[in-house]
Each structure stands twice: as C-alpha cells, then as structure tokens.
Amino acid sequence: MKFTQTNTSDARERPANRISRFIASKLWGIVAAATILCASGAGAQTLTAAGATFPYPLYAKWFSAYKQATGVSINYQAIGSGGGIKQLKAGTVDFGASDAPVSNAELRTFPGRVVHIPTVAGAVCLAYNLPGIGKGLRLDGSTLTGIYLGQITRWNDARITRLNPGKRLPNLAIVTAHRSDSSGTSNIFTSYLSDVSSTWRQKVGTGKSVNWPVGLGGKGNSGVAGIIRQTRGAIGYVELAYVMQNHLSYAALKNRSGKFIMPSLAATTAAGKAYIGAMKKDIRTSTVNAPGANSYPIAAFTYILIYADKNNTPSGKQIIRFLRWAMTTGQKYAPGLLYAPLPKEIEQINLQHLK
C-alpha cells in the first residue's frame, strides 16, 4: 500500500479554502443572475414615444419626474399627432400620443388592438397679435369661421366690431395661422368649426390635415405661436400653455349658452365633465362645443395610444407602470402647466384598462 504524505499546514487550511470557494461560488451566482436580469430588463429601462405637441409641456414634466422617481427614461418626439399614430402603426415607438382619437376604420389598419388612454384635457386658444388690443377680444363661431374661410379679411370688419363694443379695432389685414403638420390640435379646431358651421363642414371638413382656404402654416403648436408673435394682425389656434409661454393675447369665445368664455382650467374641466356619460360608452367622444354656461367651446382630451396585446412584454409592463403613475401621481403636475386633470370617472376607466 502506498501512502502519500500530507502537509499538516495544508490540512489545516483546506476547510477554510472550501468555505471560501463555496462563498465565492454563491457570490458569482448572484452576480450572474443579476447580470441576466439586468440584460433581460434593459429594454424596459428606456421607452420611446412620439406624437402630439398639444400636451408636450406636461409630458416633458412627467417624463422628467418619472425618471427621477424610477430611473426609467422616456424619449419623446413631439412631431404631431399624425406622426405619432404613423410611428405606432409602424412599430418604431413603444407608444404614440394623439389629440385626435383613431377612427374605427383606421384602427383596423393597425397590426394589433389599440387602446386609447386619455391623459388630461386642454384648451385650444385663439391667440392674436393686435397692437393696443389686450386679451379678451370677443369672437363667436360664425365670425371665426368667416376669418378662416377668408371671408373676413380685416380686423375692423363690422362682424368683429359688433361683438366688441368699445374696442377700437385697427384697419389691419388678418393673417390666419394654422398647423402645417398632421396635427391633433388641428383636428380639435376643425371639429369645432365643423360643429358650428355647415359651410365649413361642407367646404373644408374635419381632420388632422385639411386644405386650408387661407393662411400661413407652422410646425407644431410652437410654430403657430411663433407666426402669431412675429406677425402683426395674425391669429392662430394654439394650446393654452403655449399662449402663456409666448405671452400672447387670446380671445374669449361664445359658447353654446351664449356666454363669452376665456380659456381656463375651470372652463376646460366644465367642458370635459359635460361628456362623461358619453365617454363611458366611447372614450373617444369629442368634447368640443360642450353644453353648459361655464364650458369653454374648444376643449378636448389628449390620448396616449398603446397596443393591448403587448402588455406582457418588458416594454409593455413598463408602459403600464408609467401610465398608472400618470393617472395618479402625475395628475398633480397638470394644473401648474394649465391642463385640466382627469375627472375621477375617466381616471377609473383608464385604470380598468391598465389592470
């Protein structure tokens, strides 16, 4: 029998070595597992999105606050509602954003089932550049339609002066500004004009892009605001936050009850609440020209669009988490940026969709 000599110092160290190797193997296992988890979830740590400029001031705040709270980045391109819908359909973004809900006919062209999630409501203002005339110029549906049809061409036209007794309106040419890109804000505005004028409905119609009879085009709400700011006699439709940021004067519009209403959070909320019953049946219901003495006539919800069948993917789960945050914590940021938070009834409809 052959014996092998054993070094006594090696014998004393072997149990310690075994324990060290055991601990090291476990630590490496934990590190490896964490690496795998990080790699599998890496795609969910950054989401991509594109669409409406109407809610962009609020969305930018949301995405910043959400990243600070969770570490998740959301890269958003404010390219207009039409662009957001197009990119969602092509699958190049995780979610889209639009002020114009997608019709049943267009929904059938998407590769999956699309869900509309209203996020907040906002007001579309008629802003203008009239030296010496402050905010509060009065306009009604027929006069506004006449301006955008090119039938009313000067600011001292009798149809405008009759609505504004006591104001000395200048003999200045009217320059209308509109969106040049495919725009949900245009959809909201033209929906209102179609609702108040059969002539507009027949000649121009409603849409994200229409053949404007007159005027200058600007890209995004910021582009239209820029035209107004730089052009004497200009008038254009922009979201309330852009009006305030650019220090523009804006009009009071005559509503269905015959009252001239300035755009505000309260007037936007009143318009949205007037249609809650209809929205419970179809969340895409238009809220323009709402009934009610205190309703602002060009108010609307804006939407985030998601694919229902991707909820179980890493990015889908992350989108759901973000939207739940937006429906709850995120709503507190809306009033400070001049958007009306969701009525509780609409919030509950959304949370049901996000289960």
Q: What is the mean pLDDT of residues 91-101?
A: 96
User: What stretches of the chain show up as alpha helix (H) in DSSP?
Assistant: 8-41, 56-70, 81-90, 104-107, 141-148, 158-161, 184-196, 198-203, 220-230, 240-245, 265-273, 276-281, 314-327, 344-353
For 38, residues 6+ apart whose C-beta sits below 8 A from its C-beta are none
**Residue 25: per-residue pLDDT:** 43
Torsion of CA 92, 97, 102, 107, to 10 degrees: 30
**Residue 3: per-residue pLDDT:** 27
**Residue 212: per-residue pLDDT:** 98
Among positive and negative, which fits the CA dihedral 292, 293, 298, 300?
negative
- For residue range 199-218, list pLDDT tens digits in order: 999 999 999 999 999 999 99
pLDDT classification of 182: cutoffs 50, 70, 90? very high
Query: 297 with 259: CB under 8 angstroms?
Result: no
- What percent of the chain shows pLDDT beyond 70? 88
Q: How are beta strands 299-307 and 114-128 bridged, if at all?
A: antiparallel
**Residue 14: per-residue pLDDT:** 44
Spatial separation of the C-alpha atoms in residues 76 and 283, rounded to whole Å: 24
Q: What is the mean pLDDT of residues 243-259?
A: 95
Q: Where are the domains of the chain?
A: 46-121+300-353, 123-276
**Residue 95 DSSP code:** E
Structurally, what CATH architecture does the domain formed by 123-276 represent?
3-Layer(aba) Sandwich (3.40)
Q: Do domains 46-121+300-353 and 123-276 have the same CATH topology?
A: yes
Q: Pick one of 3.40.190.10, 1.10.287.980, 3.20.20.140, 1.10.760.10 as the CATH number of 46-121+300-353.
A: 3.40.190.10
pLDDT classification of 312: cutoffs 50, 70, 90? confident
Query: 188 with 288: CB under 8 angstroms?
Result: yes
Is the pLDDT reported for residue 13 higher than 50?
A: no
Lowest-pLDDT range of 41-50, 148-157, 169-178, 345-354? 41-50
Query: 287 with 195: CB under 8 angstroms?
Result: no
- What percent of the chain shows pLDDT beyond 90? 83
User: What six digits make up the tokens of 23?
Assistant: 């601990």
Spatial separation of the C-alpha atoms in residues 329 and 324, rounded to whole Å: 8
Query: 70 with 44: CB under 8 angstroms?
Result: no
Spatial separation of the C-alpha atoms in residues 18 and 13, rounded to whole Å: 9
pLDDT classification of 24: cutoffs 50, 70, 90? very low
pLDDT classification of 160: cutoffs 50, 70, 90? very high
Backbone phi and psi for residue 7, each to the nearest 5 degrees, phi listed first: -75, 125
For 313, residues 6+ apart whose C-beta sits below 8 A from its C-beta are none
Q: What is the mean pLDDT of residues 264-278?
A: 95
User: Which SS3 state, helix, strand or coil, does residue 211 take?
Assistant: coil
pTM: 0.84
Spatial separation of the C-alpha atoms in residues 6 and 283, rounded to whole Å: 82
The per-residue pLDDT of the chain, averaged, comes to 88
